[in-house]
Amino acid sequence: MSEFEYPNDLRYTSDHEWIASKGDGTVRIGITAFAQDALGDVVYVSLPNVGDTVTAGDDAGEVESTKSVSDIYAPLAGEITAVNDQLDGTPELINTDPYGAGWMFEMKLSDDDSLSELMDAETYKASVA
């Protein structure tokens, strides 16, 4: 059983990303506590550009840690509307607050219904147990 928390109001991907609906067709995306722990200390983050259009599964950035470099994938299709500029100077926010200040980017979904296709917290938790 995983010792990490997985907030119930988020959706999750098999690539260990979380997705928070902002209620207006826009979502905020980051990586889960499980993912940040597996990566180790995050030292650099490369994020997409505001205005980029992505398809689900597209490469949308990278997270570099003391252990490895991992790709970040767009969990859904849409347009990037914001990136977390705080991660430029303090990438360790991904480790210390993965569901809060460690968010990565926001996007306007091409299809609002696509969010329901992702895992809920219980399904994700079972997948990493």
Closest-CA residue to 80 (of 56, 54, 102, 62): 54
Residue 87 forms part of a structural domain:
yes
For 91-115, b/e burial (b = at least 16 CB within 10 A) is bbbbbeebbeebbbbbbbbeeeebb
Q: Mean pLDDT throughout 37-43?
A: 95
Check residue 1 and give its pLDDT. 35
Residue 18 forms part of a structural domain:
yes
Residue 34 forms part of a structural domain:
yes
Residue 32 forms part of a structural domain:
yes
> What is the reported pTM?
0.93
**Amino acid at the residue 104:** M
Total structural domains within the chain: 1
Judge whether residue 43 has pLDDT over 80: yes
Residue 115 forms part of a structural domain:
no
Check residue 63 and give its pLDDT. 97
Check residue 19 and give its pLDDT. 98
Residue 123 forms part of a structural domain:
no
- Tens of pLDDT, residue by residue over 62-96, are 999 999 999 999 999 999 999 999 999 999 999 99
Q: Mean pLDDT throughout 91-118?
A: 95
Residue 102 forms part of a structural domain:
yes
99: CATH: 2.40.50.100
Range of the domain at 60: 11-110
